[in-house]
Amino acid sequence: MIRVLLADDQRLIRAGLRMLCDAEPDLEVVGEAGDGREAITLAARLTPDVIVMDLRMPGVDGISATSRVLAERPATRVLVLTTFGDDDHLYPALNAGACGFLLKDAPPEELLEGIRRAAAGDSPFSRDVLRRLVHRATSAGADQRRPVEGLTARERDVLDLVGEGLSNAEIGERLHIGVTTVKTHITALMAKTNSPNRVRLALVAHRQ
């Protein structure tokens, strides 16, 4: 069972998210927070696996809350769910330690899958957000493009698909390998490329 904490200052949004999660047999909403300060308190008390975190909240915002929660409980996965997909919100959220970034206009099934992926150690992003992020970063750093040495042929295949924004399950299906094997390759790739998260790994892929 995946324990989920909802953090959003709008009650209607929280109610909708709770209904979605409660309808799934593998998700349990263990609490709701109306602002970042409450999210920090509940995260410490309820030990959720995944926090679905809004960014714009009164008092302590979602970015500050993310940073403080992960400082105390680094194993917690924070999945941002926001209306704002611009760089002013995206980059600070990633720097704070968020593992994924979804927009509120995403289909319900994308959010539910995002929670599951976050709990499994994956990094769910709205595909348009990831592609824009990678495109902007690679355009700004075109002169930094250089091959990464020491990768196996299979690791290069996995790296290419990470760059396309595919999930671990999608990579496994494309390459006809198990999800556990994909995770092993991604762990090796992060070590070999000095990438702290999946977004940085996607940037590496596009710089090849």
Its pTM stands at: 0.73
Compute mean pLDDT per 10 residues along the chain, 208 residues long, and list them: 97 97 97 97 97 95 96 95 82 89 91 93 80 66 62 93 83 92 91 81 77
Q: What is the pLDDT of residue 95?
A: 86
Q: How do the residues of the chain divide into helix, strand and coil, expressed in percent and rounded to 5?
A: 55, 15, 30
User: What is the maximum alpha-carbon separation in the chain?
Assistant: 51
pLDDT at 143: 47
How confident is the model at residue 156, as a pLDDT?
Answer: 93
Q: What is the pLDDT of residues 4-62, one digit of tens each?
A: 999 999 999 999 999 999 999 999 999 999 999 999 999 999 999 999 999 999 999 99
pLDDT number for residue 79? 97
How far apart (Å, rounded) are the C-alpha atoms in residues 82 and 89?
Answer: 9
On average, the pLDDT of the chain sits at 88
* 3-class DSSP assignment, residue 148: coil
User: Could you tell me the domains of the chain?
Assistant: 2-124 (3.40.50.2300), 147-207 (1.10.10.10)
Contact call for residues 82 and 56 (beta carbons, < 8 A): yes
